[in-house]
Amino acid sequence: MCSIMGYCSRSAAFDVFMKGFEKTISRGPDDTRVVETGDGLLGFHRLSIMGLTPSGMQPFKYGNSYVVCNGEIYGFEKLKEELSVKYTFESESDCEILLPLYQEYGTDMFDMIDAEFACIIYDGEAREFIAARDPIGIRPLYYGYDKEGAVIFASEAKNLVGLAEKIMPFPPGHYYKGGQFICYCDIAKVDTVCHDDLETVCKSIHDKLVAGVEKRLVADAKVGFLLSGGLDSSLVCAIAAKKSKERIKTFAIGMSEDAIDLKYAKQVADYIGSDHTEVYMTPDEVLSSLETVIQLLGTYDITTIRASMGMYLVCKAIHEQTDIRVLLTGEISDELFGYKYTDFAPDARAFQEESQKRIHELHMYDVLRADRCISVNSLEARVPFGDLDFVKYVMAVDPELELNTYGKGKYLLRHAFEQGGYLPDEILWREKAAFSDAVGHSMVDYLKEYAQKQYTDAEFERRCKSYTHARPFTKESLLYREIFEKYYPGQAEMVADFWMPNKEWEGCDVNDPSARVLSNYGDSGK
């Protein structure tokens, strides 16, 4: 994954910088380098994925300018070839093109690259720092200001605890320059609605997702796949199996006694012919890992924490037992095609607005979960459903087509892959189970039961009142918030609120984020 940090002040103390920067060395355990620019410090922890030789080590330098980037730039070879007329490159790293791009195009470069990235540039000529983040926020970046008002950027909030009074996520699709955040791409905004017919839309969805998976198979390090047995991860794995020359490696996790999805994951693995590994977790592992997971996530959100328990443990097993360094996952499909609760959307406009809201907030929830659970185990996450071309297209599709009028959620995505033998019908058309439920209904029950024992009713009422932003509303949410505050005191505003169904919609006024409390959950997860 790599970790980056920039302290944009001449008075930045090296030892203070390193104390914060060392907290994310697991993101980049292969090498560390910090440079003094003359106006501040730039640091880089490396996880070698592309251009594995020492020449690919960052920060990259051009003249008096530097850049650090945690990112993957797809199709960088074409840009590199164009830039090679004027610039000499020393490595095979995709990120080496960033400074030449900046020299040629300035901040216009950010909208030119097909990438998931977070970067900090020091412009040696202007003697200023510029930072930017990809339009979805797949790669993490946070910022805060020290007591003198100097801005500090870092891959994770934990880097900035103790350095900045208030820590906030860097807004996706923006760059920072001259003290301002400027939007260069609002990925969820639709300029022109796509009124293609159903079959044309589904063919485009098919072709663009296949392209999104295919480009993410390119790596100089070994690639693996998380396979839950649900539609989204199964499609990613099925496409990859068709496009890969070698047998792909898939991994699934579940509770030993009631892991709903393990049987479906195995069915998919057998069907696509993957080298499949099952990982089992116990109630004791779940509870003993809870504080670790909240600390590494930097959130108190119920859904994110529940879904992270299995993801963290499966990634931990992959790190400890294999030499895989890159993992493809199925995140972001729900925000595009709908959840169980979006079946309750009163009309197409409401569906579209909800989808836009979720895309804008993704970096605080599912994307955060995938990044932290994977990166803390020194692995890199790649998210095909977050492919920029794919997301822009799906967001532009007429929402009337996306509403669940078909008697089956995510119909467009399912229909798009109905031909071609990607998945068995039983998987392609299976009802969705939430990942936190699907690894074992009992896992969520264990967490809720454990939280219930931590407080009397009177204690719960009293302690909840001490919070104003995103006030806890169940004993489980209070437990998570108190653990969060232990590691990120006073930083609750880093998260917008709890991820919950839209309570303004009829049928969605529930007190638990799990889809299984909704009336339409039906046969999901059986």
Catalytic residue numbers, as ranges: 2
- Helix-, strand-, coil-residue percentages of the chain, each rounded to 5: 45, 20, 40
DSSP 515: G
Q: How many CA atoms lie within 13 A of 320 on its CB side?
A: 7
Closest CA to 355 of 390, 396, 304: 396
The tokens for 104 are: 């040629």
Closest CA to 299 of 150, 496, 466, 106: 496
Q: How far is CA 397 from CA 126, 191, 210, 392, 401, in A?
A: 42, 11, 18, 9, 7
Residue 514: Cβ within 10 Å count: 21
Contacts of 106 (CB under 8 A, 6+ apart): none
Closest CA to 374 of 266, 251, 489, 231: 251
**Residue 24 identity (one-letter amino acid):** T
Farthest CA pair distance, the chain: 71
Helix crossing, 283-297 with 441-452: angle to 10°?
80
The C-alpha torsion from 40 through 41 and 42 to 45, rounded to 10°, is: -170
The tokens for 478 are: 């209070």
Residue 103, exposed/middle/buried by CB under 10 A (0-12, 13-18, 19+)?
middle
**Contact call for residues 67 and 99 (beta carbons, < 8 A):** yes
**Alpha-carbon span 356 to 122, nearest angstrom:** 33
Closest CA to 432 of 264, 213, 198, 224: 264
**Residue 274 identity (one-letter amino acid):** S
Question: Which helix (H) or strand (E) is 71 found in, with range?
Answer: strand 65-74
- As beta bridge partners, residue 277 has 251
CA angle 322/325/326 to nearest 5° reads 120
Residue 270: Cβ within 10 Å count: 11
Question: Which helix (H) or strand (E) is 208 found in, with range?
Answer: helix 198-215
The tokens for 21 are: 């920067």
Closest CA to 438 of 333, 332, 526: 526
The C-alpha torsion from 514 through 336 and 27 to 497, rounded to 10°, is: -50
The pair phi, psi for residue 56, each rounded to 5°, is -85, 5
Q: How many CA atoms lie within 13 A of 5 on its CB side?
A: 31
